[in-house]
Structure 1
Amino acid sequence: MRRVHTQSRPNVALLTEVLRDISMMDDPRDVLAAFGRGLRKLRPFDLIASVSKRGLHDGEYKVTRLFTPAELPTAGQRAEAPDPWRQWDQLPTHTGGFIGAVLADGLPQLFEELTLEHDPVLGEKIREIGGVGSCQAIPAYDAGQPLNWLFRFRKDPRGFTMEEFEQDILTTNLFGGATKNLVTAQRLHETNLKLRDQFQQIAQIQRGLLPAKSPTIPGLSLATSYLTSDQAGGDYYDFFPFADGTWGILIADVSGHGAAAATVMAMLRAILHCFEDPSPSPDAVLTYANDRLLRANLEGSFVTAFFAIYNPALATLTYARCGHNPPRLRKKNGDITSLDTDGTVPLGLFAPIEPKSTALKLEPGDTVVLYTDGITEAFDLNRDMFGLQRLDHAIRHAKPCPDSVIDDIHKALFDFNLSRNRDDDQTIVAFRYDPYNEQACKADKP
């Protein structure tokens, strides 16, 4: 085998340098300038015009670039001309002239013995450089249409060979495709930044709709956690003091992600805060919410919800469930059971629904953990789910205070998937029936 040393050839070395530089650029203007500098050395020219008729009427066009070799920006400089991709409206629209006649034909063309000093569009620039004698006009096709063109002029009346013309048809179109891809990538990046900003604004609004701090509820020690995913979601929790001294405790999850889920979450909050009943029941609250959501015509969105009413005087927790994960109940001895009951379908799908309330007598040391499916349906790198078994293990081995329970669930999740990123919102509401204020956080693990 014999290796041929190609880098000693000037054109190979130049092409390598130009393509390497272009591969590191993310602005189409820089790419165009780098291509022009390489073209000046590989294919000398006296004047270049880039032209586009994208989005214009037949016969109309815009000259997006018009420069001589001396006017090319050097490496690291930015052209002072308007950015045609961002400042399209600032460029004048033309008709007629030499360019108009070429565009009307729509095919690559080669011209010799040119006299264009009096051309209505190019004439002034051509007179400045002392005239041109030849031109190759090459379209860059986009979806089969010659939307963008490169006009390369030389003063020599027979300045281009047919071989050069044929090669430049390919080169121009390859460069045009690369530029188009870069423009698309840049616009996608800008769109993603705008969307990220919007999602951050939505997330801030969502946080503002959640309780600013956990309320003081007689007989309960309470903790909450609300961790968002990369997209705006629809997790929601809240507390409702009722006139009869009882407290409503809610956790809910709107289907989907993004602005739609956040909007439904805000609607649900407004609906529930308008509920008026001096002696409410969980089934009445959920039925009320379902009726109002149906009137809003959610078009495929729905809400899973668990609503409980805690009665401090009776030490009872009465609850109902609509499609939501059954909360976990940890007894003082560490045993874990499920607050499962005959639930209904999620809210917002159809009516009537008939959620059934179930009453639980709380005992000192009982800890209840409400959560959304972003906890149990978190995945690791092998696409295994965190699941109920791991959740129960974390709850069972945590210190009995709610803060510690939540911390241990988060630690178990991180140990499971080794990531702080989340595919879904993860919300936890944990409370412990502690009528004697035993300061459970300082107690030993069971």
Structure 2
Amino acid sequence: MLYELGEKIADCIDIDELAQLTLTEAQFLMPSGKELQLGVLLVGEAVGHLSICAGQGDLFKVGALFSIDGITQQVLGSGNSEIVNDVQQDFRFQLSAGALNQVQAMLCTPIKTRDNIFGVLSVVSQMPINFSAAEAKVLNLLASQVAIAIGRVHLIHERVAQERHQESLELSKSIQMSMLPTAFPRFSKGSKIDLFAYIQPAREVGGDFYDFFHLDEKTLLVVIGDVSGKGVPAALFMVMVKTLVRAMAKQHVLPHDILAALNPELCRDNDAMMFVTLFIATVDLDTNLITYSYGGHNRPLYLSKYGIVSMLPGESGTALGIFDEASFSVETMQLNAGESLIMYTDGINEAMNVSFEEYGEERLCDLLTGLEHYNAQELIEAVNADINVFTLGAEQSDDIALIAFQLKGK
């Protein structure tokens, strides 16, 4: 009979169906002619209670919660079956009768695997009866088979949930990436501006971002940002920041004014206390004048036409979303033909190798030195390649974003 049960449960992937099947088989295994009540009771979220998934008799109403008695609690805790033929005299029952205050005899066996106890199979009688060790052994074999099936069902459900979660994250990543501009202005198409960007979240989605767009025919705005944290919360905050930057840029032209208008909006109703570092620059395409402001962000690197690398001047300022009264300064510089700016988030300089050494800004400057003949994409690819070699074998610890902006020579 137990072999036949194994065949029956092989294709069963529903917990309630398994419970009912268990109950039916248990009825055949118990002595006939006795007024027995049976229940398949599984562990749920309710503290001090089990969920009645299948039952026979007034004590075991399907869908109800079963108040755990002292004997059942012992079975759950020890993982061993209990035969109690005089329940009223058992000290565990006297301490906690639970739902079984009228019961005279009880046979309770755990539904367990090696790693988990899912509940109990309980057989009770309100009339005097002597359960035998042989009956307990057979019931235990039945419960063991069912426990394996329940474990398999849980595993299937977990895998389905994981797959759905992964699909959701992949969709979120696709949506997030689609919000970032990927059509880069290239000198080969007649523009004197060469711009290329790259982003790589540490997880499926992240909080780093970049954006660039025209404020008018002669002014280009470039922004790079790094939201605190990683994963979905950071990604959601990033979307809000990116959207607000564009909205504020319609009302303000200068980078520090954009930051000043944006900051209070990020501070408002920010119970999660998230923040973002930003670097915003505008480029006058007629004069090649760069106007820029920091919001607590890394200082970009300036690659001169002679191949010399230096950090862009200016104070890094305060991250946005922390103090609503924060102020921001503005700087300017003249960019000449053949010169580049490399903007990045701290996922670059703080990237760690297997020895927990940081990549560092000095290493980044050394890498870029002498690369004045590289175009924007080549500069980004050079940085990525060097980071990948440095961190080989180590897990990516933070999101990464890079922008190379270059004024091409004639």
The answer to whether the superposition gives a TM-score over 0.5 is yes
Name the structure 2 match of 1:23: none
Structure-2 residue corresponding to 1:428: 402
2:243 equivalent to 1:270:
yes
Residue number in structure 2 paired with 1:208: 178
What is residue 417 of structure 1 aligned with on the other side? 391
Give me the whole-angstrom Cα distance separating, in 2, the residues matched to 1:321 and 1:364: 24
Is 1:342 aligned with 2:315?
yes
- Correspondence 1:62 to 2:53: yes
Q: Deviations over 1:123-157 (max 9, x none)?
A: xxxxxxxxxxxx99333289xx9942166xxxxx9
Contact 2:306 2:370 in 1 (8 A): no
Q: Which residue of 2 aligns with 1:302?
A: 275
2:254 maps to a residue whose letter is S
Once the two structures are TM-superposed, the CA of residue 271 in structure 1 deviates from its matched residue by 1.2
| Equivalence for 1:405 | 379
Paired residue secondary structure (1:96): coil
Q: CA deviation at 1:309?
A: 0.9
SS at match of 2:165: helix
Mapping for residues 352-391 of structure 1, pairs under 5 Å = 352-391=325-364
Paired residue secondary structure (2:245): helix
**Structure 2 match to 1:197:** 167
Equivalent of 1:139, from 97, 109, 121?
109
- 1:251-309: CA deviations, max 9, x gaps? 01111122221221111122122225587111111111112222353531001000011
Q: 1:147 to 1:345 in 2, by over 3 A?
A: same
Instruction: Look up the match of 1:96.
Output: 58
Question: Which residue is 1:246 aligned to?
Answer: 219
Instruction: Tell me how far apart the structure 2 counterparts of residues 61 and 360 of structure 1 sit (CA, whole Å).
Output: 74
Deviations 1:95-126 (A, max 9, x none): 4379999x978452277xxxxxxxxxxxxxxx
Indicate the residue corresponding to 2:293 in structure 1.
Answer: 320
Structure 1 gaps of 5+ residues are 1-17, 19-26, 37-44, 64-92, 112-134, 152-156, 437-446
Structure 1 residues 60 and 369, CA gap change in structure 2 (3 angstroms): closer
State how far apart, in whole Å, the 1-side matches of 2:236 and 2:399 are: 15
Find 1:51's aligned residue among 27, 32, 40.
Answer: 40
| Mapped contact 1:110–1:136 kept (Cα < 8 A) | yes
Question: Deviations along 1:24-50, whole A, 9 cap, x unmatched?
Answer: xxx899xx9xxx9xxxxxxxx963887
> Structure 2 CA distance, aligned partners of 1:404 and 1:203?
25
TM-score (norm 2): 0.68
Letter in 2 for 1:406: I
Tell me by how many angstroms 1:394 deviates. Answer: 2.8
| Rounded Cα–Cα distance in structure 2 between residues aligned with 1:336 and 1:425 | 24
Q: Report the Cα offset of residue 320 of structure 1.
A: 0.9
**Secondary structure class of the residue paired with 1:269:** helix
Unaligned runs of 5+ in 2: 1-5, 7-12, 31-37, 73-81, 86-104, 124-128
Q: Deviations over 1:156-205 (max 9, x none)?
A: x99x864x678889989998988887766655544433332222222112
What is the distance in 1 between the residues matched to 2:60 and 2:254?
A: 82
